[in-house]
């Protein structure tokens, strides 16, 4: 139950006027929270958050969908401000990734999905200095559900990752914690760990079960299920020279 008395600044966004209009108004009037009514909320381009903001669905996540109308790099990019999402679905069919996490991102009761079935969209990319906290969330039919780079933190609690190519990709120097979460039916690997420490005696490139992570300090799993991942539940491999290609910034942005 939402306690409106605790929110100083609130806007209720219906599907019309558009979410972009509501975001603009929220910036002008320094709103901290936008409550989203049930429906599909479309934006023309990547929402570039330059200040902290919370987007909260009033209904369940199945009924509140956020998506773009055209191909672009990311659905949401918190370049400066912290971002909180609650009870919304992020539809990634027309974007390279759902969220580029540059500072702090919190998800509660959300769903991140690529309904196209092609699994080419990424879920959440957490870069150095950023922190992701996700609880009670679903990640479905994505390329990689969560990518955590060196110097970044990610905590997933009671989350379900299903039918992606890779569930979690973590690089050496990252800090990833999974608690009471499941990674199942991925087309490649449940967890993929890339490190430049494969020359160490106790950490060699391998594919296998969850016990491969016992000597990996970057990853902590508690009461988790990894099952049905086609190439293996866990892969440990040598980190490539280039961690990742830069996100194409050629698309236009909605600045918030």
Segment 87-102 mean pLDDT: 94
Helix and strand tally (H, E) in the chain? 1, 27
Quickly state the pLDDT bin for 13 (edges 50, 70, 90). Answer: low
pLDDT cut 70: percent of the chain above it: 83
The answer to whether residue 240 scores a pLDDT higher than 90 is: no
CATH topology of domain 8-240: Pectate Lyase C-like (2.160.20)
Quickly state the pLDDT bin for 218 (edges 50, 70, 90). Answer: very high
* Coil, helix or strand at residue 121: coil
Segments making up each domain of the chain, as ranges: 8-240
The answer to whether residue 5 scores a pLDDT higher than 90 is: no
- pLDDT tens by residue, 164-183: 999 999 999 999 999 999 99
Predicted structure pTM score: 0.86
């Amino acid at each position: 139950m939402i306690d409106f008395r605790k929110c100083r600044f609130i806007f209720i966004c219906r599907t019309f006027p558009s979410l972009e209009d509501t975001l603009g108004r929220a910036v002008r009037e320094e709103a901290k929270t936008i409550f989203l009514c049930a429906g599909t909320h479309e934006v023309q381009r990547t929402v570039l958050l330059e200040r902290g903001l919370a987007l909260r669905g009033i209904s369940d996540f199945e009924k509140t969908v956020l998506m773009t109308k055209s191909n672009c790099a990311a659905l949401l990019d918190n370049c400066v401000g912290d971002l909180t999402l609650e009870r919304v679905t992020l539809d990634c069919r027309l974007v390279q990734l759902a969220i580029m996490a540059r500072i702090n991102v919190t998800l509660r009761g959300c769903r991140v999905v690529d309904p196209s079935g092609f699994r080419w969209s990424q879920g959440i990319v957490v870069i150095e200095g950023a922190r992701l906290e996700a609880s009670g969330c679903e990640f479905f039919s994505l390329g990689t559900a969560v990518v955590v780079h060196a110097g970044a933190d990610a905590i997933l609690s009671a989350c379900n990752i299903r039918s992606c190519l890779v569930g979690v990709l973590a690089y050496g120097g990252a800090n990833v914690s999974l608690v009471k979460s499941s990674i199942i039916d991925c087309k490649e690997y449940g967890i993929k760990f890339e490190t430049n420490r494969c020359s160490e005696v106790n950490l060699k490139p391998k594919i296998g079960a969850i016990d491969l992570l016992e000597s990996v300090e970057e990853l902590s799993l508690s009461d988790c299920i990894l099952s049905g991942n086609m190439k293996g539940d866990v892969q440990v491999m040598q980190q490539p020279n280039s961690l990742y290609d830069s996100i194409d910034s050629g698309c236009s942005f909605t600045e918030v």
